Amino acid sequence: MLVTPYYTNLFETPQELYQYLLEFKQQFLQKKSLKILSISQEIPFVDPLAVLQAIAKPDQLQFYFEKPAQKEAIAAIDAVDFLKIEAEDRFGKAQAFIHNCLAKTTSIGALNLPFSGSHFFSSFTFFNQGNKNTSPFPSATIFLPRWQVACRGNRAVFVANIEINSTINIEKLAKDLWQKFNTIKKISAQRNSFASNLIKVDIEHKNNLFKEYNVDIKNLRASILNVLSLIENHKINKVVLAHALDVTLPIPFQLISSLNHLRKRYPDCYIFSTSNGKGQNFIGASPERLINIHNRKLITDALAGSAPRGKTADEDAELANRLLTSEKERHEHRVVSDFIIQRLSKLGLSPEMSPTPQLLQLLNIQHLWTPIQAKVPLGVHPLEIVAELHPTPAVAGTPREISQEQILRYETFDRCLYAAPLGWVDHRGNSEFIVGIRSALIDGDRARLYAGAGIVAGSDPDKELAEIQLKLQVLLKALV
């Protein structure tokens, strides 16, 4: 990838933009080969969610990723290039796609800003089902967006990735780019009116909806009992069983309003949305980071062991103490942290972690949490780490292969992107992936909500069912 950071303000005038694009075409396309030009430009602060609402179309690939508590968000819209994979080695093929795209990319502009330059957004289904995949999403999707808007703190960046070949009309291209840039600047100027234009959430209606649709837990309870029997007979150590709740509204669900409500209610979670370009969106508020890599420094999370939040401060403290001292919950947590350490070590990393777990406290649930850090050696790609970690025991079980067999045996629905890796990799090798839990698949007026619980020795079926219902309420109350 060629980097030319000197053009820091290419959008001063449409004539300057046109002239640069014309020179680029003449310079790089003498051999009639396709090139990708990535332009990064700082812009006045804008909410990427407002940009997603304003310019994204249902038939385009989209990706939204936000960490509200850290004031970070990124929206990726449409695709300059993409790959959908229904085959083995999907992580390796996605890595090769990134390599091939970067080989023909020239990056210019304000490349010192957070989220500047080329970013590749990807999603992987929980199971790699190959050509047999009937999920709304392929086994893997990865794309380089045409438009990307991101913010961190009070700064924002606009990234345009454009294809240039020997036959492209530079005058039309410059005009379209200039128009898109100014459209986004107008959104920035109107940001105060964005929230007021969103649909209000009727919490009481959502509670009634939950009671109406939460009627079939019998099969899940029977599955939990069967898994506990396998555990007692020492055939398996843990299985994470999930439940899918199908909901229909009289009108279509509103993607942007739902995401806005999620980020307000769950600022300590990762708010996310990814589309398949067919009008279906997978969204959620996940507390679980799979990997974060910045300047080759990796942070990942062991997140396992759960308890509800208390209604009073005393009750909350008591529940937290029970969680921290529960041998069952601590054992479940150790299984996850040991797995992560083992997998990272296999790739040549030297992971470090604190000896005792901490508490991650969310609005209505709290977890045992241990952050794990390591330096990423040269030559190890972020997607290699994702491939090694997915699925962790926190979302599958142990042993991993046997637990996945039991999931396929007992779950009567397609997990799709539930509990699977979703995230991005940039042109410098930085990356962030989450685990797609506390999530829902939205399709017009229909939604499928997902939640699960880890079944281990000593699990109480009633408590596990209550935990799943609690997690489902998180999504149901947020969907609009």
**Residues with a known catalytic role:** 238, 288
Nearest in space to 274 (alpha carbons), one of 29, 451, 441, 472: 441
The token pair at 312 is 């009073």
> Please, are residues 83 and 143 in contact by the beta-carbon 8 Å criterion?
yes
d(CA 433, CA 421): 6
199, 254 contact by CB (below 8 A): yes
392 DSSP assignment = P
End-to-end CA distance of the chain: 42
**Contact yes or no for 140/125 (Cβ under 8 A):** yes
In this structure, are residues 461 and 224 in contact, taking their beta carbons and an 8 Å threshold? yes
Judge whether 282 and 438 are in contact, CB under 8 Å: no
Q: Could you tell me if 135 and 414 are in contact, meaning their C-beta atoms sit under 8 angstroms apart?
A: yes
Query: In residues, how long is the chain?
Result: 480
DSSP 446: E
SS3 at position 209:
helix
Which backbone phi and psi does 121 adopt, to 5 degrees? -105, 135
